[in-house]
Amino acid sequence: MSAKKTKVVIVGGGTAGWLTAGILASRFASEGQQSMQITLIESPDVQTIGVGEGTWPSMRTTLQKMGVSETEFMRDCDVSLKQGTRFDGWARGGKESDDHYYHPFSLPQGFSTINLAKYWQPSSGLPLSSQPLSSQPLSSQPRSHQARFADAVGLQSSICHRGLAPKQITTPEFAFNANYGYHLDAGKLAVFLNKHCTNTLGVKHILDHVISVNADDDGYIESIDAAKIGTLEGDLFVDCTGFASILLGQHYGIKLQDKRDVLFNDSAIAVHVPYQGSNDPVLSHTLSTAQSAGWIWDIGLPTRRGVGYVYSSDHTSDDAAHDTLMNYVSSSVGSAQAKQLVGRKIPIKPGYREKFWHKNCVAIGLSAGFVEPMEASALVLVELSAQMLAEQFPADRPTMNIVAQRFNQKFTYRWEQIIDFLKLHYVLTKRKDSDYWLDNCRSETIPESLQQSLQLWKTQVPWHFDTPHIDEMFPSASFQYVLYGMGFVTEVNCLADRSHKKMSLQADALMQENQKQIKKLLSVLPHNRDLLNKVAEFGFQKI
């Protein structure tokens, strides 16, 4: 492959296809290599599935490396800023105002050197405060171990609780006061990336229907045939054809490993919900509200909300799910307007391919797999897949086999980690109001790896050794936010640690400093809607 100009053919567009094209093209362009030709071919009739996407903070780095202007990106893709997720009703399912917790993007204070969760842990089952720490005057706040975990160890939950943005208009592009990702319109993102990749990064774009796949004697894809342009040859083919998985799934027959025995949700209904007024607040976090057979996402974009119900068809009917979603929407826009909204049914096949890279074909995006969008893992998997492909791009077929093996091992591990992490949200519930929640807690539906972790966490607070790889998708802090947000108790054997006054004092000092930082940021950060309006008018400063 290195003796001639390497031809990469990406089959399928959408967010996955264009992100992959941009990451590949910007990587090799930045290294001054002109030996790669990237062509993206997509059907003119296939629409992007996205109904309002959430990203991780990693997307900032991805876009920055591609040479994208954050201001233009936000203006063109209906973008708002996301600081994490708030989970409502997952622990007890009641209407209590305190049945919620945040999984923010920022790590706890001093996380690299001290495990604050160990010192926050309530002793002897001491009940937590029912109010966010940030809502109380500093002088009257309870001791740190009585505060909600996210409030006690970090600042982002307090920012989200007040509806504030993670930065100011004077903060340069991609910089921040509090870590953030994005909420965006996936269809508009694909159009935006298309323009940037073709106009700036030199990606060739073809609108045509792929009608056949041609392999050589060794089974490697040699070319594809399209209806209008005829034969398109390539050295490496990237399958971004969504659930159809035309190359890896259909041509090579690589099966999807079904994970419905662990993650039950196999359906979703989504709607676009208009704001009542042009200056209605825009949440700076995803809102996830538990229901009797699944959960509802609520994503605020500048011009509308993306709302959807993810559910298990074994535990409710499509009609009942539709009614549940409309009841949720009616609470904010009224029943008359809710009846005018048209829901879009989206089938979900929870699982991932047995292999993601076979011969000279790599699946990225929905063609590689999909699970419910609870923690916005879909787009970050696209980023990570494309980045590994770019960084370890094989020079020839012998090295391709080595890279493919590593790629498959890496992403099998990542998919399993995602499944464990998502399942964690369900198994900690105390809800007993429906078969859905009871079934989620049955031991036979919980992966053995997660069961072992839960057993360990009964006596040890998660920290660095719980996530042994340097490039883990979820740091141990993420497990802490879910565990202690849901009311999990670790009976820490703290005899040695708590008698070590230096560490205890350091923990107290960090949690007190955290409260000071919260107070300072609450006084200077704008509301999310106000910042979005200013970005639309003025834009961020360039770095």
DSSP H helices, 253-396, are 318-333, 335-340, 377-391
Percent of the chain with pLDDT strictly greater than 90: 84
pLDDT tens, position by position, 326-344: 999 999 999 999 999 999 9
Rounded average pLDDT over 472-479: 95
Architecture field, domain 6-52+185-257+350-418 = 3-Layer(bba) Sandwich (3.50)
Q: What is the pLDDT of residue 5?
A: 81
Q: How far is CA 109 from CA 105, 507, 517, in A?
A: 12, 9, 11
Provide mean pLDDT across the span 184-213. Answer: 96
Q: Is 70 exceeded by the pLDDT of residue 131?
A: no
**Who wins on pLDDT, 498 or 441?**
441
Which secondary structure element, helix H or strand E, spans residue 297, and what is its range? Answer: strand 294-300
- pLDDT for 138 equals 30
Mean pLDDT of the 36-54 span? 81
100 to each of 131, 293, 306, 466, 479, how far by Cα in Å?
Answer: 11, 18, 21, 25, 16
Q: Report yes or no on whether pTM surpasses 0.85.
A: yes
> With bands split at pLDDT 50, 70 and 90, how would you rate the model's confidence at 98?
confident
Angle between helices 14-30 and 58-65 (to 10 degrees): 60
Count the neighbouring beta carbons within 10 Å of the beta carbon of residue 338.
Answer: 18
Report for 22-31, 132-141, 455-464: range of highest mean pLDDT: 455-464
Tell me the H-state helices in 428-475: 435-440, 448-457
- What average pLDDT score do residues 278-291 get? 96
pLDDT at 143 over 70: no
pLDDT of residue 2: 47
Which three-class secondary structure state does DSSP give residue 51?
coil
Q: Indicate whether 451 pLDDT > 80.
A: yes
**Residue 317: its pLDDT value, please?**
98
Q: Band of the pLDDT at 496, cuts 50, 70, 90?
A: low
How much of the chain, in percent, has pLDDT values that exceed 70?
A: 90
Tell how strand 236-239 and strand 6-11 pair up: parallel
Give the sign of the dihedral formed by CA 99, CA 103, CA 104, CA 107.
Answer: positive
pLDDT > 80? residue 435 = yes
250 pLDDT band, cuts 50/70/90, is very high
* Cα distance between residue 506 and residue 81, in whole Å: 33
**Tell me, what's the pLDDT at 46?**
73
3-state secondary structure of 65: helix
Computed over every residue of the chain, the mean pLDDT equals 91
Q: What is the 3-state secondary structure (H, E, C) of 149-182?
A: HHHHHCCHHHHHHCCECCCCCCCECCCCCCCCEE
Strand partners, 80: 183
How far apart (Å, rounded) are the C-alpha atoms in residues 341 and 344?
10
Question: Contact 289/86 with Cβ under 8 angstroms?
Answer: no
Residue 137 has pLDDT above 50, yes or no: no
